Every structure is written in structure tokens, then in C-alpha cells.
Amino acid sequence: MGANSNRVEDFSRHNGSTTTTTTTLKVSTEIPMPPPEAMEIHNVCLPPQKTTFQKLKHRLSEIFFPDDPLYRFKKQTWCKKLVLGLQFLFPIFQWGPEYNLSLFRSDIISGLTIASLAIPQGISYAKLANLPPIVGLYSSFVPPLIYSVLGSSRHLAVGPVSIASLVMGTMLSESVSPVEEPILHLKLAFTATFFAGLFQASLGLLRLGFVIDFLSKATLIGFMAGAAVIVSLQQLKGLLGIVHFTGKMQLIPVMTSVFDHRKEWSWQTIVLGSIFLLFLLTTRHISTRKPKLFWVSAAAPLTSVILSTLLVFCIKSKPHGISIIGHLQKGLNPPSLNMLYFNGQYLALAIKTGIITGILSLTEGIAVGRTFASLRNYQVDGNKEMMAIGLMNMAGCCTSCYVTTGSFSRSAVNYNAGAQTAVSNIVLATTVLVTLLFLMPLFYYTPNVILGAIIITAVIGLIDYQAAYKLWKVDKLDFLACVCSFFGVLFISVPLGLAIAVGVSVFKILLHVTRPNTVVLGNIPRTEIYQSLNRYREASRVRSFLILAIESPIYFANSTYLQERILRWVREEEERIKANRESTLKCIIIDMTAVTAIDTSGIDMVRELRKMLEKRSLQLVLVNPVGSVTEKLHHSKILESFGMNAFYLTVGKAVADISASWKPQP
């Protein structure tokens, strides 16, 4: 048929910035294929030529600005640009002008609801972080105000959260005792908050938001469950009334500590704690079953605090052995800029704690924001949210606040209570303000055991065994990452558990690249479709051809493997042919559609493979290499050395063309 000579080989670019492929009419006669008019041959062509600078620019814009954040500014007047810029930086200008009384009514209801939840939770979480309880209230005042101006989520309820509190408490307490050196501990907490904020804001500003994507959902399910178990066990201190408790967080020392101090157990505390824990868990159960009754669980913590405080107040004259919060100072957040700690031996600890709590709280905040945004069909810009949360923490650390973010439980209540805008956060802050100014003495008799019960109720929802079971069913390696982070957190430590889980997740990606799938394709009769022989029963081998699909980029990490694996396919195919006495193997076709990238090792592999196959008189043909791969093959002169009849756009064309070229020499 002499088809190859017919085709113009136009791999060298002509004269412009783009290449056009040459289309030559060809007539097929033999292979089951669509009829002549569909048989034009389209060659593999190079992508439009770009300079290194253009490529770099394109790549960087894809890496850092995938969402094209400035698209709204294009083709606008200066004045409009200014307004858009303000709205971009301060989302409050976006929804502010359209704000009305009906929205305000919704926001005030939801704001008050979350305040009733936020006050007891704030005090509890501060205790979880080994900080004075009042810091929890301070942290529920300033950050919500700042978020309401900067944040783009309408439903996020901002304040301290359990995971970040736990992690900060653990990491700092392991080096500095909060009992012996309370001031230093507090200083380090504020400094860690500063670094958390700085880190979060930088991630947003440098558009490195994808860093938090590396905490996969699977990892987080395990991590949160582990953290919830640890937090709950820690509460045994309060629930049992133990005075001398371990500062460690792992399962074994905590349980040892619980049973070693059996003499300190106080039955009054246990009874009180159990009753209220049961009450809180029941209300939680009701709200989980019937989402409309969300207010039952939202009101329960404050109710418990009030009831238990009254109870303890009534029996205050008798010795009861129930420890109470005690004196809380009235007044607004004191400035704490002077408490930041920028030199000394603990600086590294503060930075490390800041970065880890920063990442964790960011992950929670963004995830919560996205969840509720998708429920109401609006978009939350990840990078902007990071900046908002980061600035909120940086402002917080100067006003006696520790790490805050959007809390899942409170945001859910906020959403269910009908919050419409970030004004609900302003209402929350106002309520906390009133509490700080006037209501502090009321908490004097609040028993610590109640705080423990509130924390347990809040974190128990983090143990999502159903999600873990789903992971097991769908993806075993995801489940492994989940289990690793769970046990890592439980038995080793929070940062190490997290690191192991991230390691497992990254390992999963690398494993997929290191040991990619190779699939033998066959033709589905009477079509031009080539599919996996193993999967599609009707697909059948094409005589004298071995058609392989490589399902991964070809990198240094897999080039040796792929070479060996392909040679093994060839060997096995030859053995099969020999056993079945079919006609000999003549051509190896590699479908490169899924080879989305190649590096220099990969290119060497292709060159080497061709040489090895040539020595066995086997032809090597590549099908449909993607743009960047074709370009690299061109730069490394492989395209030229292979010749044009080694590249085809579809497997079908390759099979047709090559078997036609064999005809003349029978």
C-alpha cells in the first residue's frame, strides 16, 4: 500500500508559533474498520510553540492562580475596579449594602443561639488547652468580630475549637508546665497563636492553600477520632475528680494515671458528672435524630452550666469535694502584645506548635466553610479564607486570644438556627462582650466536672466510624491512612500521628507512580475501540500486535519498572503465541494516552526499550502521546530518531496502517 511515504512528516515546525498537522487521505482495505471516508490520518503534532518564559508563566499561574481570582476585574472601569477591590478584600462590602432587617432578625436569633453554646464551650476548651478559662471567652469575642469583616463564609461560627485546643495544650505542656509556670505557658500560647496566624495568612497570601489538601479526609477521620478519644479520656480527670493527673496525652499514661489515683476519685463529682453527661448526650442524640430540634442540644450546655452552678451554690456551705472554676476577672480582653515571646529557648516550640495548630485549625475552618457554602450553593475562596482566619488569629494574639477557627458544631447550629450573614458572629461577640463585662461572677460556682461533660459531648461526634467503614469498603489504602493517624495520635503523639498519616497518604501517591498499571488492550469487534482484554470480554487480541496501555506518567521512579514489565509482557505474549501456534509477534503498540508526563529518565527508557525490541525484530509504536510528552520527545530528538511511522493518534489507525504496510511483502 505504501502508505507511509504518502504522509508528510511535519515534526519540524514550519515558520509560525503553531504547527498544523498534515491530513492525507488514505484507503484502508483489510482490518475491520470504518469505511474509507472516515479514514483520514491525523498525525501526532506538537503543541503550539512557547518560550520557556511563557511556559513558566502558564505553569505558575496554574499552580498559584488556578481560580483566576482577578477575572472579575477584567475589562472594568477604574472606579468599578476600586469597588470590586474593596469587596474582594472585605467581603462585608459585598453583602453589607444589601443587608436588611429581615436578614438581621435571622442573624440575631442564630447569633444568640451560638453564643449560648460558645460561652460554656469557650471556657471548656480553654481548660483543654491548659489555659485560664477566661481566655476561652476572650477568644470568643475579638476573632468573630474580625472574621465578620474579612470572612467570606456566611455560616461559619468562629471561636476556640477542641482539636486545636488539645494540640496546643499537649505540645506546650510537654515542655512547660501550666501549673508551675502559668505565665510562661500563657506567653507561649499567645506566641503560638501569632505564628499560627502568620502561617495561615502567609499560606493564603502566597496562594499555597494546597498545603492543607495534604491532610486528606481519610487522614482527618482517623485523626479526629483519635483526638476525640484522647480528649474524652483527659476529661476523666474532671469527671472522677482526680487532682493529680498526668500531663501526657497518650492512651497508656492517661489510663495508668486514672487507675493509680483511685483514692482521689470523688463520688459526688462522679454522680454530678454522670447525670449531666447523660443529659447532654441525650439532647445530642435527640438533635442528631431530628435536625429540626437542633436547639435542644444547642441550649443544653448553658442549661447544664446554670443548673449545676445553682446546685453547687446551694450546697456551698457543706464540704462536697466538687472542684469549681472560682474567680474570673471581669472586663474586656487585656492587650497581650507585650506577652509575645520572640527569643529564648522555647521559641522553636512556639513556632512548631503554631504551625501545627495553624494547619489543623485552618483545615477545620476551610472544610466547615466549604460544607455550608455548598449546601447554600455559594463559593468560599480558600485562599481568602486563609488570610481571614490568619489575620483573625494575628489580631487575636494581641488581645489575649488563643487559636480560633470556624467550629464545626457551632457552625452547624448557626446554619440550622437560620444564620444569613456574618452578622451572627457580631451578635455572638456582643453577647460575649456583655458576659465579660457583667456576668463573670456568675461562673464562680460552676463545677469543673460540667466543663468535662460539655467537652466529651462536643468531641464524641468526631468519632465517625461509619465514614471509616466506608473508607474500608471503597479504598483500602485510604483506610490504612485513617487507621495510622488514629493509632498514631492515640499511642505516639498528635504531631507524629499526623505526620505518619500524611506520610502514608503521600506514599500512596508515590506507590501508584512507582508501580503503575500496564494493561493489554484488545479490539472490540466492529468498532475502533481498544479496551482492556481483562475487563471487556468481547475485546479480542489483534494478530501480530501487542497493544499495551501505561496508566501513569513515566518518571525516574518507574522507568526501570516499566521497562522490565513491558519486556515481561512481550515475553509472555511470545510464549502464549508459541503455545497456541499463532503467527509471530511483530509490533508492540504503546497507548500513551494516560502517560501524562515524562521526564529524562522516562525518555531514556523509551529509547532503550526501542533498541531492545529492535534487536528482537519487534517494531515499537507510540499512540497518542499528550502535548508535554510529545514536546519532550521532540526536544530529546526521539521523535526524529524513531521516524514518523512510530507515532499515531489512535490505536486503530496504528493497527490499520502498520498491518497494511506488511502486506506487500507476504
Residues from 83 through 112 that contact a copy of itself (CB under 8 A):
none
Residues 6+ apart with CB under 8 A from 49: 13, 17, 18, 19
Subset of residues 17 to 46 that bind a copy of itself, contact rule: CB under 8 A: 18, 20-21, 23, 34-35, 37-38, 40, 42, 45-46
**Out of 615, 664, 665, 666, the residue judged to bind a copy of itself by CB under 8 A:** 615
**Out of 244, 318, 473, 581, the residue judged to bind a copy of itself by CB under 8 A:** 473
Question: Taking CB under 8 A as the rule, does residue 47 contact a copy of itself?
Answer: yes
Measured distance CA(566)–CA(588) in Å, rounded: 9
**Out of 7, 81, 217, 541, the residue judged to bind a copy of itself by CB under 8 A:** 217
Kindly write out the interface string for residues 522-551 of this chain, putting x where it contacts a copy of itself by CB under 8 A and - elsewhere.
--x-xxxx-xx-xxxxx------------x
Applying CB under 8 A, which part among 56-64, 85-93, 120-128, 260-268 lies near a copy of itself? 56-64
Question: Taking CB under 8 A as the rule, does residue 476 contact a copy of itself?
Answer: yes
**Among residues 43, 48, 49, 19, which one has the least CA distance to residue 647?**
43
357, containing H or E segment: helix 347-375
**Out of 207, 248, 261, 565, the residue judged to bind a copy of itself by CB under 8 A:** 565
**Smaller CB distance to a copy of itself: residue 451 or 463?**
463
Measured distance CA(477)–CA(505) in Å, rounded: 8
Which residue matches cell numbers 495510622? 484
With contacts defined by CB under 8 A, how many residues of the chain interact with a copy of itself? 98
Residue 64, burial from CB neighbour count under 10 angstroms (0-12, 13-18, 19+): middle
Bin 368: left if φ > 0, else alpha if -120 < ψ < 50, else beta.
alpha
Q: How far is the CB of 506 from a copy of itself (least distance, A)?
A: 7
Question: Taking CB under 8 A as the rule, does residue 54 contact a copy of itself?
Answer: no
Question: Taking CB under 8 A as the rule, does residue 216 contact a copy of itself?
Answer: yes
Subset of residues 376 to 405 that bind a copy of itself, contact rule: CB under 8 A: 377, 382
Applying CB under 8 A, which part among 88-96, 97-105, 287-295, 626-634 lies near a copy of itself? 626-634
**Smaller CB distance to a copy of itself: residue 61 or 584?**
61
Whether the CB-CB separation of 191 and 357 falls below 8 Å is answered with no
Measured distance CA(385)–CA(14) in Å, rounded: 48
Determine the residue type at 409: S
Applying CB under 8 A, which part among 84-92, 298-306, 439-447, 552-560 lies near a copy of itself? 552-560
Kindly write out the interface string for residues 643-662 of this chain, putting x where it contacts a copy of itself by CB under 8 A and - elsewhere.
------xx------------
Measured distance CA(182)–CA(195) in Å, rounded: 20
C-alpha cell, 499: 505526620
C-alpha cell, 18: 503553531
Measured distance CA(185)–CA(180) in Å, rounded: 9
Subset of residues 335 to 364 that bind a copy of itself, contact rule: CB under 8 A: none
**Smaller CB distance to a copy of itself: residue 386 or 394?**
386
Q: How far is the CB of 59 from a copy of itself (least distance, A)?
A: 8
**Out of 430, 514, 645, 661, the residue judged to bind a copy of itself by CB under 8 A:** 514
**Among residues 581, 598, 591, 665, which one has the least CA distance to residue 633?**
598
**Out of 267, 611, 643, 663, the residue judged to bind a copy of itself by CB under 8 A:** 611
Q: How far is the CB of 3 from a copy of itself (least distance, A)?
A: 16
**Smaller CB distance to a copy of itself: residue 15 or 52?**
52
Strand residues in 138-268 grouped as ranges (E):
158-159
Subset of residues 568 to 587 that bind a copy of itself, contact rule: CB under 8 A: 568
Kind of pairing, strands 530-532 and 518-523?
Answer: antiparallel
Whether the CB-CB separation of 575 and 535 falls below 8 Å is answered with no
Applying CB under 8 A, which part among 16-24, 238-246, 312-320, 342-350 lies near a copy of itself? 16-24
Total number of residues shown for the chain: 666
Kind of pairing, strands 41-42 and 518-523?
Answer: unpaired
Measured distance CA(617)–CA(511) in Å, rounded: 33
Applying CB under 8 A, which part among 58-66, 407-415, 417-425, 450-458 lies near a copy of itself? 58-66
Q: How far is the CB of 81 from a copy of itself (least distance, A)?
A: 18
**Smaller CB distance to a copy of itself: residue 515 or 541?**
515
**Out of 635, 640, 641, 663, the residue judged to bind a copy of itself by CB under 8 A:** 635
Taking residue 492's Cβ as centre, other Cβ atoms within 10 Å add up to 15
**Smaller CB distance to a copy of itself: residue 68 or 98?**
68
Chain centroid to CA 345: 33
C-alpha cell, 495: 504531631
- Taking the alpha carbons of 55, 58, 61, 62 in that order, is the dihedral positive or negative? negative
Residue 167, burial from CB neighbour count under 10 angstroms (0-12, 13-18, 19+): buried
Measured distance CA(623)–CA(593) in Å, rounded: 7
Q: How far is the CB of 597 from a copy of itself (least distance, A)?
A: 5
Q: How far is the CB of 460 from a copy of itself (least distance, A)?
A: 23
Q: What are phi and psi of 504, to 5 degrees?
A: -65, -40
Question: Taking CB under 8 A as the rule, does residue 73 contact a copy of itself?
Answer: no
Question: Taking CB under 8 A as the rule, does residue 470 contact a copy of itself?
Answer: yes
Subset of residues 266 to 325 that bind a copy of itself, contact rule: CB under 8 A: none
Question: Taking CB under 8 A as the rule, does residue 210 contact a copy of itself?
Answer: yes
